[in-house]
Amino acid sequence: MMVRIHGNGLDLDPRFRDWIDTRLRSALRRHGSRLKHVDLSISDVNGPKGGPDKRGRCVLHVKRMPTLVVEVWADRPRDLVDGLIRRIVQTMDRNVGRQRDRRRTLARAG
């Protein structure tokens, strides 16, 4: 699984990028064989104005499934990454479960 991490309007230092990469790979370990690549971007939408202006967006390119997109907003970058990873895992679990259910239904019908 290839992981690309982008910072738009935010300076993502190498330690923070490594932390994100480690957390993401750990969370998606059980789905790693299904994932072609993951594009994760973190943006500071309002700049120095404050408020919940950090946006995290993750595009998951999955084998034999449609591309999945997850988006989360938060005040702080670390909270954003935690929330984004939680939503990514939920989305992958749900979609893999649906795919498994469809296969079982087709097997029973055929």
Q: What is the CATH number of the domain that holds 87?
A: 3.30.160.100
Beta-carbon contacts of residue 40 (< 8 Å; ≥ 6 apart): 3, 4, 5, 6, 20, 24, 56, 57, 58, 59, 84
The number of distinct structural domains making up the chain is: 1
Per-residue pLDDT of the chain (110 residues; tens, 9 = 90+): 899 999 987 778 999 999 999 999 999 999 888 999 999 999 988 766 666 688 999 999 999 889 999 999 998 889 999 999 999 999 999 998 887 777 777 777 76
Beta-carbon contacts of residue 26 (< 8 Å; ≥ 6 apart): none
Rounded distance between C-alpha atoms, residue 71 and residue 88, angstroms: 9
Write out the residue range of the structural domain in which residue 34 sits: 2-109
